[in-house]
Structure 1
Amino acid sequence: MGDPAFLRLWAGSTASGLATWALPFILGLAVLEGTLTAAGLGAALAARTAGFLAAVPIAGALADRRSRRGVVLWSGLAAAGASPLVAVGAAESAVLMAAAAAVVGAGQGACRPAFQALTAEVVAEPRRQEANAALTLSVRVTTLVAPGATALASTVLGTGALLAGTAVLWAVAALLPPRGAAAPAAGPSAAAPGAAPASGPASGRFRLLADLAEGLREARRHPWFVSGLGALTAVIATGYSATGVLLPVVSRDGFGGEAVLAGALTAYTAGALAGAVLIARLRPPSAGWAALAGLALYGFAPLSLLFAVHPAVVIAAYVVAGVGIELFNVPWFTAAQREVEPSKLARVSSLDFLFSYGLAPVGLALIAPAADAFGTAAVLAVCAAVCFAAPAAAALAPGARHFTRPTAPPPEARQGR
């Protein structure tokens, strides 16, 4: 992928990913230093999540109606402007910190569907799987390398300076990506059959609810997308929650320390790196089924925590889970860019991010009380079962085998001729 336009897109997307990852880590360092309370950290991260969820669907509609490049620009600049205010608020005002974090989250949420649609504008269809693999590879490298680099930088820089660095990253994400194709012509919003087009000054106004409904209808035209999104949401809400909440507990109580926790998380990232490299070249004949099988591999992560096994087994399970998630992610993004109507791609992508990532906090909030009520083993067993079963059920949807919309039979076939 040596095309200059894609390299600019890749660099901008990587900068946004690094800035997104950095905020909670830097605020966590502030808690360790005693300059921020745990309650303040929780409020800031909750506000960022709220901003993300509020912005994703709106940005999807804007990116389809206006310009994908323009949405990336303004969302990145908004996050860049708000990032230093998070540091000011951490020192002086919890309300200011939460408000600034919400703006940063909104910038993060707004750029996600816009970047997804901009990739389809910049990269030709035959090379999109390779391009998506390169984009996800940068995310995994960031999560592997950035913690140590940020911790090292914190020895000479304070929280304010580090957050100012994230503002620079957001500015790069805003300004560097190239201009894509012209904004796609949005189809008319649904109206009653035979209704006359709207007229008057209101007809040219941006109608958010109508555009969002149109995006939802487009998503429903693709049964493989609806079923796959349901499976992804289920895996994130259960498997990811088991990793986030129960892995530290099992590492402490079952293995006597944090070594298994650190090793499993590193192994997952390493596996995802390997998966991204593999799927850049791999073209399975039944791409959808292969992707869903990769998603199901995440079930081995909670399953490995269920039994008294050697730590190496847990590490291996997380490597497999990491490989599998990228065997799903890259074909999933590529199929959406290929199958969804271009003028509705950002809205459909926003549904992807809204459901899969938006419901993740629900799983995180519920899994600890569930473990207290039913026991850690029972919760881990349910999480593993859901991770295996949800992709298997999604594979039964029409079009799931190849992640394509099934074509209707010709009239003669429907009439039994």
Structure 2
Amino acid sequence: MRGVERRSASVFRSPDFLRLWTSTTASGLATWALPFILGLAVLDRSMTAVALGVVLAARTVGFLVAVPVAGVLADRYPRRRIVLWAGLLAAGASPLIALGLGRSTVVMAVAAAVAGAGQGACRPAFQALTAEVVADDRRQEANAAMTLAVRVTTLVAPGLTAVLAVVVDTPALLVATGVLWLAAALLPPRGTARVAVTTARPRFVADFVAGLREARRHPWFLAGLGALTAVIATGYSATGVALPLVSRDRYGTEAVLAAALTAYTLGALVGAVLMARWRPRAQGWVALAGLGAYGVAPVSLLLSVPAPVVVGAYVVAGLGIELFNVPWFTGTQREVEPTMLARVSSLDFLLSYGLAPVGLALIAPAIDHFGARPVLAVCAVVCFAAPAAAALVPSTREFRAPSPGPGGPGR
């Protein structure tokens, strides 16, 4: 296949990367398992559905508050130290969630917010640490391995949680997520970046603004982030609300819902495996085309098509999102100033993940007011149009700004 490079040694032969990958996987497993464990608590009446919503919302708030703070701290201090303290924070909060189960929703919500803060603090630090321990020519493979772990975790966590629930009770499962966070905290290797640890008074706002200036220096990043945010806030949110309704009302079974979500994950797995080796020449345009492919998901829900077509559309959407993710992370790690990488990554997570709940909150009443079809149509147009508009920015072709000269920025 043209554009595919064969490499003799796997990135997993690096002990440092293997430790980082294992740490990331442990944090991902703990993150994805928590909602399912709490869902089991609702089923056995240990907590109410309202309490579940409050606890998960508190975790999201903790995540969003921590992401920008951690981005600044991970550029001021060693990234491994940030992961350590973030993991320990989440590990300590997990038993408190178990302690509050069936006793106090307030305790559970506060503990979940702390766990969410630990999760959010890890994300930009992991991104920056990957750039430290993996050479530039192996980062695409490394990022593909990272996202592959996320997808496998998404696929495995619900079933594994359900199996374990037969053997142990819900509080024990919550404590087990703390053990996973402990592993995530202790496993990462030392980074190689020379981060200046200073005793000067932290200037959070000034440091975060400096990260914004660095992001503005890369037009491809701003264009890609805008497209990603638009797709997640519209297409992802709309299908999250509409897919269960379509599965129930059009097809008369929840099986379509389960099949479509599984198909999305399987498509993403294929995409991650593909991007571990494929080096397209215009990788930015390929990535944006993959992002735009998410639009087939709302289109399949909009049209009266057989159920297998909906499932196939979600395979395409999952494949496309990884065609975007891997080059996106790799380009950010390559192009952004290393001392600013965690802050710029935090901006990425803050907008893309942060606006997802906003999209969900707005889409549901929009469907109630206008109906599912008009809302899905608008969301499909946005999913196709936003990446296409981003591709008009010249530097998005390769997710690389042209260098003004030897040794200049962007190389």
* TM-score normalised per structure 2: 0.94
Find the residue that maps to 1:370 and give its secondary structure.
helix
Q: State the distance in 1 between where 2:370 and 2:47 align.
A: 34
- After TM superposition, list the pairs within 5 Å mapping 1:105-184 onto structure 2: 105-184=116-195
| 1:282 counterpart letter in structure 2 | W
Select which of 262, 274, 282 maps to 1:266. 262
User: Which position in structure 2 is the counterpart of 1:390?
Assistant: 386
Select which of 300, 304, 312 maps to 1:304. 300
Q: How far is the alpha carbon of 1:408 from its aligned partner?
A: 4.7
Q: How far is the alpha carbon of 1:88 from its aligned partner?
A: 1.1
Q: State the distance in 2 between where 1:263 and 1:235 align.
A: 22
User: Which position in structure 2 is the counterpart of 1:287?
Assistant: 283
Q: Residue by residue, what CA displacement relative to the aligned partner does 1:178-224 show, whole Å, maximum 9, x if unpaired?
A: 011144359xxxxxxxxxxxxxxx99222111100000000000000
Identity of aligned residues (%): 72
Q: How far is the alpha carbon of 1:239 from its aligned partner?
A: 1.3
User: Which position in structure 1 is the counterpart of 2:4?
Assistant: none
User: Which position in structure 2 is the counterpart of 1:92?
Assistant: 103
Q: State the distance in 2 between where 1:271 and 1:282 align.
A: 16
- After TM superposition, list the pairs within 5 Å mapping 1:194-209 onto structure 2: 204-209=200-205
Decide whether the 8 Å contact of 2:79 with 2:126 is kept in 1: yes
2:248 is aligned with 1:229: no
| 1:378 counterpart letter in structure 2 | P
User: Which position in structure 1 is the counterpart of 2:5?
Assistant: none
Find the residue that maps to 2:305 and give its secondary structure.
coil
Q: How far is the alpha carbon of 1:227 from its aligned partner?
A: 0.8
| 2:268 counterpart letter in structure 1 | A
Q: How far is the alpha carbon of 1:242 from its aligned partner?
A: 1.9
- After TM superposition, list the pairs within 5 Å mapping 1:342-381 onto structure 2: 342-381=338-377
Q: How far is the alpha carbon of 1:368 from its aligned partner?
A: 1.1
Q: Residue by residue, what CA displacement relative to the aligned partner does 1:353-407 show, whole Å, maximum 9, x if unpaired?
A: 0000000000101111101111100011111111000000011113110101234
| 1:303 counterpart letter in structure 2 | V
| 2:26 counterpart letter in structure 1 | A
Q: State the distance in 2 between where 1:151 and 1:132 align.
A: 29
Decide whether the 8 Å contact of 1:64 with 1:183 is kept in 2: no
Q: State the distance in 2 between where 1:97 and 1:203 align.
A: 35
Q: State the distance in 2 between where 1:88 and 1:100 align.
A: 10
Q: State the distance in 2 between where 1:4 and 1:203 align.
A: 32
- Count of aligned pairs: 395
1:308 to 1:20, Cα distance in 2 relative to 1, 3 A: same
**Runs of 5+ in structure 1 lacking a partner?**
187-201, 411-417
User: Which position in structure 2 is the counterpart of 1:23?
Assistant: 34
User: Which position in structure 1 is the counterpart of 2:325?
Assistant: 329
Q: State the distance in 1 between where 2:63 and 2:199 align.
A: 29
Q: State the distance in 2 between where 1:13 and 1:338 align.
A: 20
Decide whether the 8 Å contact of 1:65 with 1:183 is kept in 2: no
Q: State the distance in 2 between where 1:49 and 1:177 align.
A: 24
Find the residue that maps to 1:214 and give its secondary structure.
helix
| 1:126 counterpart letter in structure 2 | D
| 2:100 counterpart letter in structure 1 | G
User: Which position in structure 2 is the counterpart of 1:415?
Assistant: none
Decide whether the 8 Å contact of 1:287 with 1:331 is kept in 2: yes
Q: State the distance in 1 between where 2:86 and 2:50 align.
A: 27
Q: Residue by residue, what CA displacement relative to the aligned partner does 1:53-81 show, whole Å, maximum 9, x if unpaired?
A: 00000000000011100000000000000
Q: State the distance in 2 between where 1:49 and 1:145 align.
A: 22
2:37 is aligned with 1:8: no
Q: Which has the larger radius of gyration?
A: 1
User: Which ranges of 4 or more aligned residues in structure 1 deviate by more than 4 Å?
Assistant: none
| 1:26 counterpart letter in structure 2 | I
| 1:81 counterpart letter in structure 2 | G
Find the residue that maps to 1:359 and give its secondary structure.
helix
Q: CA RMSD in A?
A: 1.4
Decide whether the 8 Å contact of 2:101 with 2:171 is kept in 1: no
